[in-house]
Structure 1
Amino acid sequence: MRISRSAVSAVVACCALVGTGACSGSGSGGGSSSGSGTYTFWDPYPQFDSSDAWAKLVASCGTQAGVTLKRTAMDTTDLNNKALLAGQQGSLPDLMMVDNPFVSTLVQAGILTKTSDLGLDTSALQKNIVGAGTTDGAAYGIPIGANTLALYYNKAILSQAGIDPGTVKDWASLTAALEKAKSAGKKGITFGAIGTEEGSFQFLPWFWGAGGDLTKLDSAQGVAALSLWKDWVSKGLAPNDVLSNTQTTSWQEFATGQYAFGENGTWQLANAAKVGFDYGIINIPGQNGGSAPVPTGGEFVTVPVQKDTARYAVDKKIMECLTSNTNLLSTDTTLSYIAPVPAVQDQQVQQNPALKPWVSALAAARGRTSGGLGTKYPVISEQMWTAVQGALSGGKNPQSAMEDAQKAADAHKS
């Protein structure tokens, strides 16, 4: 989940602005007649211009489908807002790449078409990854890939402090490792607890790793997760600036070579190769052992509802091209994503063994809107990151912070 792909709070504001009823899909694709001419495609990858491999793939998939595929790239927040407005105005594109937590919002607004209605088969996809784009048992898109979180560690610091990364199996052993690193004159762990969706994304492995339920933020499990982070900051095992750390600034701290551990994502692999020290990766441990469930990041290829249903045949061809195993392999390598198909994951690991722990992490991953949360998630997430901010700043104790968060979430329902 890169920083620009996580502005879930903007979804709430935009839905309020546009109105759910007004978002009903009635787009025409903005192109010419079905089966020929120009089709339109939006994605949240403005970092890739027409010379990049991704843009060339998009164009080639249009060509293979017998049309010109006009690509428009914008950051995620802009795309989310424009999708809702386009639904109101009847000017939706033929296809969109959508950040996975936003799929349920578009479904509720009546904007997206079921993959089954398009004749697309999702049975080969890893269930927990495709689950992030599933509502009431129906899939509304195909994931292009997924990224998630794990713990990077500095091999030199762990060696100096006498820490065997293989012994870090639960919260107690991780905390003991952080204390050893501090005793050796180094720093413990850095992460991002900023008061945005990014902070929630980073907190979720600990919340879920304690057995937390997002509908019960103030449960003993939720309080335990927040208490863990609070204790680390209070004891100097994590820096005070985690309160303002994004995943980018947190990575920059880890890259100084002073921290034993850093919680971060698949997308930092290219940067990890440049840090100038040996690093390793382990899964984030659950409170009592095992790999903690981690949230999935990444986008889904979706087809908005169209007035001209004959366009769906070409949309399907384009989707099949973009998400073929061959193209997933090249695309996910470019994006530092893990493929949503186990067979392609195996190929990725063969090409780059460093991806193995990420495949393992994703096996335990969850969609943030899964389990029926859907559009309830943004409200819950905002209260969760507010609780984290309150506790880590010292304004509240973890118990009261989570109790207040749950009350606020409940009040929103009513």
Structure 2
Amino acid sequence: MTGILTSHADARWLVATPEYAGVTAYTGGIGRHYAALLPALARQGIAVDLAIETNDELVSDDAGDGIRLIGGGVRRAYRSRRHDVVFAPEWRGLAAMLPRTAPLLTNLATGVRLADEVSGFRPADLPIGQRVVRARQAAAERRQLYRSAGLISISRAMLERTSDLYPGLPPARVVRNCIDVDAVAAAAARAGVPQGWPDDEAPVVLFLGRSERRKGIEDAFSAFRRVHEELPRARLVVAGAGGDARYEPTRAALVEMLPPSARDRVTWLGHVPGDELYGAIARADVVICPSRWEGFGNVALEVKTIGTPLIVTSGSGYDEFCTDGQDCQSVPPADPERLAAAIDVAVRHPAWARTLAEHARAQVADFAPDPVARDLIGAATDLLAGAIRPRLDASRRPR
């Protein structure tokens, strides 16, 4: 194992990611997390090389102070100079082809096998061409996991679920995700709303997340059907990217879940880039994140930072930082009836809901970039200090 990390002073990290806020056109939770985290690593004295692997054109080459954006992919970047740490999510297996001697720490943030499992999706249902692509991605992610010197999991729930899928994983530590707390709060205060935002005074229920089954989109519509019966003026606004038919119901199928009187109460925003997303969160009456399972849930942190009433689901990564009745409402996953009841309470009792939101806003400082960066450095140092170990018995690895 080369590049054993003994001190973070003057250390150089190579970070690989498929998305990065402000640089790539599409940015989800990983991209916003890394865009907050990497400048914080630089403030700790770490030199950061950033390799973005995407098929889309970059919208900017400014990744933040202290971040060196390099092209050509993670393999080329790794060969170009010595790095003390290579840090990459398992999604797409970007670091799978690095040598076994690389000081690779994989950030557990939901791979394709876990996404399939949570979604109830069977790869055998895919056309043969897509099946091959999916199999290659799964193989690359598996290879990266077992070639890692250590794993950095975004939550205990993520580590437990991944360990069930992949027996005999390398050593792991849990380090929470971060958001730029100050920047999010400031953006919410100044930002306008996205184009298409409802212009009446009706209560707004904002669904945040990709329009996938695992994110609870069907549960959200089933719940809204019940909400509409009691609160016919309420609106459901759906904000999140789509386009992956493997995991998503069609809009037509979702609308069919609603009675005719409720169908014009739904607004589809699609992917909302930039600060307008925070403007939407600030103006919603309640935000729902009804994932059937979630590794962490950065967007819920953003909602708490902005101070909007929040409803999440229990039993996964949200449990790391959300407590029912204290800073949010938490309901069981895949339970539209309980979700509808929580929405009804938030809309009918806004003062109580806002009290929870104020408590939530007071708790987010520990998820700011600098404390998270310090904990990540400590975990990396710990894992790489013990990185010289026997190669895992191949018989313990799933085929």
Same fold per TM (> 0.5)?
no
When normalised by structure 2's length, the TM-score is: 0.28
The structure showing larger relative contact order (alpha-carbon pairs under 8 Å, at least 6 residues apart) is 1
When normalised by structure 1's length, the TM-score is: 0.27
